[in-house]
């Protein structure tokens, strides 16, 4: 990987604006809020053009190095990332009267968009000399951190709710981490990580509790803009748990707008949650800046089962600044959406990705999204990681076959 100029100037508290030095180990700000990486955007805009970017042969998000915080190429931990495709849904678009595009993040290493954030978090941990990382996870984030950290030669300890899908628990351990099931939800797992920092000495890589996962997720926005010719869709439906990706994309769009790369209006950011765990939706509808703990959180879409988010105000800020909204869909609608897209378009969405299609249909029906508007739905992981219906249909080749049944 070739060297690129870097433009990080400092870190900034997302709540107070207080600045912190870059290139030092940092968690949350002194008021317990996420730190954001800030860049010299004027210098960045003069150092690279869209044409320079288009000429690069590198695949995946590491081609956006000037927009990222890693200083030295030797610290960029890569596992064969690709630019994830935009997939039209022509039959469903025609039927519903809209323009539906899925950005399929399941094509990334470890099969989910968590590869983006954890690649950056691990790379910066390597650059800053850390060697033991810990995190809570609903599954995919843990798998991504285990893979990237193992590739970088780091130790990882990961905690997940006891009902985390078996495939996630197994892949986390197989890719080099030590994983523990916890009789609670992801916030309970996060408490264990936080309380263990002093005695164990690990670094907490929980969502938004360090500055760099946002920067990795930011690349979803840069990549989408490049794929769409430096214009953006009318709406973006994003499955929202901790919300790092939604926050990161909104940050990316602001940075691209500042350097003059974006043309046209900004998209409306739509935060999608499940009715069994919808703290952001409630806060949005109540006009609040923060979302209290959601009691008894439950949904089949485990990736968005996050009862409380440290970056709640950043999610809500992006939604409101963009003119978007927050919406919740129930598990029946999620399951129906997954089946409909798979059977009609041949695209197997994960439950969280299916929630965005269910939310799109619901928004179209209630008029919050118009039929003439373009919509990008984020499928955050491959559907192959999740339980699927059992099929028992069989034939006995030793008996006469009634071929009329196949008509």
- Indicate whether 294 belongs to any domain: yes
Query: How confident is the model at residue 59, as a pLDDT?
Result: 82
Instruction: Give 166's DSSP letter.
Output: H
Within 21-125, strands assigned E span 35-39, 86-88, 99-104
- Indicate whether 312 belongs to any domain: yes
* Separation CA 299–CA 7 (nearest Å): 41
Query: How confident is the model at residue 1, as a pLDDT?
Result: 67
* Separation CA 61–CA 82 (nearest Å): 7
| Angle between the N-to-C axes of helices 279-286 and 312-321, in degrees from 0 to 180, rounded to the nearest 10 | 50
* φ, ψ at 274 (rounded to 5°): -100, 150
- The answer to whether 306 and 136 are in contact (CB under 8 A) is no
**Nearest alpha carbon to residue 103 among 360, 347, 394:** 347
* Separation CA 226–CA 244 (nearest Å): 20
DSSP 331-386: HHHHHHHHHHHHHHH---B-HHHHHHHHHHHHHHHHTSS-TTSEEEEEE-BBGGGS
* Separation CA 103–CA 83 (nearest Å): 10
Q: What b/e sequence results for 197-210 when a residue is b if at least 16 CB atoms lie within 10 Å of its CB, and e otherwise?
A: eeeeebbbbbbbbb
- Indicate whether 161 belongs to any domain: no
- The answer to whether 385 and 355 are in contact (CB under 8 A) is no
189: three-class secondary structure by DSSP:
helix
- Indicate whether 269 belongs to any domain: yes
- Indicate whether 391 belongs to any domain: no
Domain CATH number, residue 283: 3.40.50.1100
The number of folded domains in the chain is 1
Domain of residue 231, residue span: 86-111+212-385
What's the order of all strands across the beta sheet hosting 8-13? 19-20, 8-13, 35-39
* Separation CA 270–CA 305 (nearest Å): 17
117-147 pLDDT, tens digit per residue, is 999 999 999 999 999 999 999 999 999 999 9
- Indicate whether 42 belongs to any domain: no
- The answer to whether 82 and 357 are in contact (CB under 8 A) is no
- The answer to whether 206 and 193 are in contact (CB under 8 A) is yes
- The answer to whether 106 and 382 are in contact (CB under 8 A) is yes
Going by C-beta distance under 8 Å and a sequence separation of 6 or more, which residues neighbour residue 264? 231, 232
pLDDT tens, N- to C-terminus, the chain (407 residues): 678 899 999 999 999 999 999 999 999 999 999 999 999 999 999 999 999 999 998 889 999 999 999 999 999 999 999 999 999 999 999 999 999 999 999 999 999 999 999 999 999 999 999 999 999 999 999 999 999 999 999 999 999 999 998 999 999 999 999 999 999 999 999 999 999 999 999 999 999 999 999 999 999 999 999 999 999 999 999 999 999 999 999 999 999 999 999 988 999 999 999 999 999 999 999 999 999 999 999 999 999 999 999 999 999 999 999 999 999 999 999 999 999 999 999 999 999 999 999 999 999 999 999 999 999 999 999 999 998 889 999 999 999 999 999 99
Burial of 87 (0-12, 13-18, 19+ CB in 10 A): middle
In this structure, the strands spanning 99-104 and 86-88 are: antiparallel
- Indicate whether 280 belongs to any domain: yes
* Separation CA 25–CA 202 (nearest Å): 12
- Indicate whether 357 belongs to any domain: yes
């Amino acid at each position: 990987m070739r060297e690129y100029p870097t433009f990080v100037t400092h870190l900034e508290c997302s709540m107070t604006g207080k600045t912190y030095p870059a290139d030092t180990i940092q968690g949350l700000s002194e008021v317990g809020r996420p730190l954001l990486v800030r860049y010299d955007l004027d210098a960045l805009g003069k150092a690279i053009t869209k044409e320079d970017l288009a000429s690069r042969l590198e695949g995946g998000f590491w081609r956006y190095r000037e927009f990222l915080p890693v200083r030295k190429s030797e610290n960029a931990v890569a596992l064969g990332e690709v630019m994830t495709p935009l997939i039209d849904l022509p039959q469903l678009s025609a039927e519903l009267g809209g323009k539906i595009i899925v950005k399929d993040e399941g094509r990334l290493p470890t099969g989910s968009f968590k590869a983006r954030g954890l690649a950056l978090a691990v790379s910066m941990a390597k650059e800053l000399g850390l060697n033991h990382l810990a995190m809570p996870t609903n599954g995919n984030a843990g798998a991504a951190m285990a893979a990237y950290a193992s590739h970088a030669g780091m130790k990882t300890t990961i905690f997940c709710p006891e009902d985390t899908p078996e495939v996630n628990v197994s892949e986390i351990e197989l890719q080099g981490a030590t994983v523990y099931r916890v009789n609670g939800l992801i916030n309970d797992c996060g408490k264990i990580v936080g309380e263990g920092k002093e005695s164990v000495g690990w670094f907490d890589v929980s969502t938004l509790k360090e500055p760099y996962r946002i920067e990795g997720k930011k690349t979803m926005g840069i990549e989408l803009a490049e794929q769409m010719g430096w214009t953006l869709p009318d709406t973006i439906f994003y499955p929202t748990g901790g919300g790092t990706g939604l926050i990161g994309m909104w940050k990316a769009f602001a940075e691209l707008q500042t350097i003059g790369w974006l043309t046209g209006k900004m998209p409306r950011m739509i935060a999608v949650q499940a009715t069994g765990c919808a703290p952001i939706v409630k806060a949005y509808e109540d006009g609040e800046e923060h979302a209290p703990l959601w009691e008894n959180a439950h949904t089949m879409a485990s990736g968005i089962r996050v009862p409380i988010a440290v970056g709640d105000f950043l999610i809500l800020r992006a939604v409101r600044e963009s003119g978007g909204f927050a919406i919740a869909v129930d598990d029946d609608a999620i399951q129906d959406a997954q089946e409909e897209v798979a059977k009609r378009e041949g695209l197997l969405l994960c439950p969280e990705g299916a929630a965005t299609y269910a939310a799109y249909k619901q928004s179209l029906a209630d008029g919050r999204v118009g039929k003439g508007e373009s919509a990008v739905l984020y499928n955050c992981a491959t559907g192959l990681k999740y339980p699927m219906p059992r099929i028992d249909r069989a034939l006995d080749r030793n008996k006469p076959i009634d071929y009329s049944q196949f008509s």
